[in-house]
Chains A and B, each alone.
Chain A
Amino acid sequence: MREVFTLAVSAVLLAGFYAAMAYGLGLIYGVLRIVNLAHGGIIMAAAYLTWQLFERFGVDPYIAIPVALVVFFALGAGIYLGLVRFLPRGPAGAVQSLLLLFGVWLIIRNVAYLLFTGNEQAIHTSYATRSVTVFGSSFSVTRILVFAIAVVALLLLHLLLTRTYLGKAIRAVAQNPDSCTLAGIDVERVRIFTFGLGTALAGLAGVLASTLFAFNPSFGAAELLKSFVIIVLGGLGSIVGIALGACVLAFAEVFSIYVVPPYLTSAVGFVLLVVVLVLRPGGLFGQRVLR
């Protein structure tokens, strides 16, 4: 019983991180109908940025978050302006967008190999090994902090999308761009902002990941795939869908230790993905539209 409680709490903590990690991918897909294959590369790059800030300047990883948000927002907007905007619109551009963004990922990865070699890195903060005990089970402070930050980020994002003119415009562009133009919305600017915001969220996920895991320049591949699984599970409908998708994945992974050996944990998500795609191609919680 104690063990089930421990695992359940671990799963919830993990789900928070997963939701924040998936949201950037979902946002970009919802508005631009493009799967950002560079998502994992951005997560990795943000982990390295955090590590550099920590090692060189002693900046605490969580203090580095605003820096990462600004840097990766700018990088995302730059990728959109310099590359993505030249893709053909609609289904015609789907394959090109995959190739293009996969190329971006390869570039980011190889730059990281050049700069930092392929050695594993990790961030060892003074509180990295500290933990708190709840009902006799102990949880690491880092995991709790990551969860709290992820939840706050998702709430702020929710407020942005539902309460501000810009956020409503983002959702409207996802649903009918021509009508946005008629209403006086500069659709292209909304797309630039969305790509920047989605990339900044991947950057946030990278900062958080750097405090949880060791990483090397190939880090991010599993994170991209997991983000994809979450979006397929939860749909783009709302923050609730993403959160549910993240919970399903996190619980499946964490509780899979009862049935499969630990080294197969990361395969759990993909099995889940295949099963859902076969049984419910619309996703578990439906909603193919950002709303």
Chain B
Amino acid sequence: MLEVRDLEAGYGDAQALFGISLSVNAGELVTLVGANGAGKTTTLRAIAGICRPAHGSLLFEGKPLNAVPAHHRAALGIALVPEGRELWPQLTVLENLELGAFERGARSRRTQSLEKVFELFPVLKERAKQLAGSMSGGEQQMVAIGRALMSRPRLLMMDEPSLGLAPVMVTHMFAIIRRLHAEGLTILLVEQNLSRALEIADRGYVIETGKVSLTGTAEELLTNPAVRTAYLGI
């Protein structure tokens, strides 16, 4: 479904990605793990289009993405739950969700989408009229995921959805991700919490300083001695 080849990108003069290649097949849950600053966020931003790649190609369902403007990628079925949530804090929860379905196709189905999001996160229905910025971290993460789902994505990318959440909320988030995956959604998940991510993922990529250093099935990575010492501290 998604194919990334030799992706290079950066910020001004500082290059962050030095030739990332990865793929995600339809229905898979693939995780991207690696230390802080490895380039995971930049990779997702390049796929979503808000960071311009300097080199490399992106294919989505066989079609090249490079020339597609970022704001047209939602219509193709690509959604990103950004790191740090990036809500519109002075809009209500409901407005945040509604705007997630801005694109024409998604807009026509927004009533069903909204029902689905409220079923997934009942607390958002109670808090629909509240300003998004006034919610707790966990609730804001729910809004961020809900907003992405409102666009009816076929590929859902999530950037550290468990970051800064209370342990109970982390467990809840992973349960939600597992459920979305079980319902058939294709997911590309970036996580610092490597053991939990590999627990629910099909495959994984380990990113180090802008390159893929290791890849394999979740099981292979979990049992890989290098991964165990470097990331799991075992």
Q: Report B-chain residues with C-beta under 8 Å of the C-beta of A182.
A: 48, 50, 70, 74, 79-80, 82, 148
Contact of A178 (CB < 8 Å), options: B72, B82, B98, B147: B82
Could you tell me if B90 and A183 are in contact, using CB atoms closer than 8 angstroms?
Answer: no
Interface class of chain A by DSSP = helix
Bound-state CA distance A186–B50 (Å) is 12
Closest to A166 in B: B102
Segment from A32-40, A98-106, A168-176 that makes contact with B: A168-176
Chain B count of residues within 8 A CB distance of the other chain: 30
State whether the Cβ of B88 lies closer than 8 Å to any Cβ in chain A.
Answer: yes
Could you tell me if B86 and A176 are in contact, using CB atoms closer than 8 angstroms?
Answer: yes
Report the minimum CB–CB distance from B137 to chain A (whole Å): 17
State whether the Cβ of A289 lies closer than 8 Å to any Cβ in chain B.
Answer: yes
Q: Report A-chain residues with C-beta under 8 Å of the C-beta of B148.
A: 182
Report the minimum CB–CB distance from B78 to chain A (whole Å): 9
Within 8 A of B (CB), among A173-203: 175-176, 178-187
Quick one: given A181-B49, A182-B48, A183-B151, are A165 and B102 in contact (CB under 8 Å)?
yes
Could you tell me if B91 and A184 are in contact, using CB atoms closer than 8 angstroms?
Answer: no
Could you tell me if B70 and A175 are in contact, using CB atoms closer than 8 angstroms?
Answer: no
Contact of A183 (CB < 8 Å), options: B49, B69, B89, B102: B102
Q: Report B-chain residues with C-beta under 8 Å of the C-beta of A185.
A: 71, 99, 102
Report the minimum CB–CB distance from B74 to chain A (whole Å): 3
Give how many A-B residue pairs fall within 8 Å (CB-CB).
72
Could you tell me if A179 and B91 are in contact, using CB atoms closer than 8 angstroms?
Answer: no
Report the minimum CB–CB distance from B165 to chain A (whole Å): 19
Q: Report B-chain residues with C-beta under 8 Å of the C-beta of A158.
A: none
Could you tell me if A184 and B74 are in contact, using CB atoms closer than 8 angstroms?
Answer: yes
Bound-state CA distance A186–B148 (Å) is 17
Report the minimum CB–CB distance from B201 to chain A (whole Å): 23
Q: Report B-chain residues with C-beta under 8 Å of the C-beta of A290.
A: 90
Could you tell me if A175 and B71 are in contact, using CB atoms closer than 8 angstroms?
Answer: no
Contact of A172 (CB < 8 Å), options: B71, B72, B91, B103: B91
Could you tell me if A184 and B75 are in contact, using CB atoms closer than 8 angstroms?
Answer: yes
Closest to B90 in A: A291
Q: Report A-chain residues with C-beta under 8 Å of the C-beta of B106.
A: 184
Could you tell me if B74 and A171 are in contact, using CB atoms closer than 8 angstroms?
Answer: no
Closest to B80 in A: A182
10 new A-B contacts at CB < 8 Å, known A171-B88, A184-B74, A184-B75:
A168-B98, A168-B99, A169-B102, A175-B88, A176-B87, A179-B88, A180-B99, A183-B103, A184-B151, A185-B99
Q: Could you write out 8 A-B pairs with CB less than 8 Å apart?
A: A168-B91, A175-B89, A178-B82, A181-B50, A182-B74, A183-B74, A184-B73, A184-B74
Interface positions of B (Cβ within 8 A of A)? 48-50, 69-75, 79-80, 82, 86-91, 95, 98-100, 102-103, 106-107, 147-148, 151
Interface positions of A (Cβ within 8 A of B)? 165, 168-169, 171-172, 175-176, 178-187, 289-291
